[in-house]
Amino acid sequence: MTASDTTTQGELEKLVSDLRGLLANKDLDTVPEIRLLRQRLDDGMHNVRESAVRAAQDAARQAKDAALAADRYAHDEPWRVAGAALAVGALVGFLLARR
């Protein structure tokens, strides 16, 4: 992350914080447009949260499926897995020995 990215992210967070503070002001409830804007923002945040939860659940399911597939493969082909582990171990040992 570059310095300009950090600055931009900080500015965006400050803008969101200022907007939330402004919309939390109950004196503005008399303005129908503000009430409508507040409702739209709340609905948008709810949708974003739901999407994030669904994405996390999908990622967890895919990780579980991949782990089950790897487990099945290891049980079906134990000698190939052992050979691959031996090859990786030998490579790591060779690289560490060169230091």
Tell me the pLDDT band of 93, cut-offs 50, 70 and 90: very high
0.85 exceeded by pTM: no
Mean pLDDT, rounded, for 10-14: 77
pLDDT at position 2 over 70: no
- Residue 30 identity: T
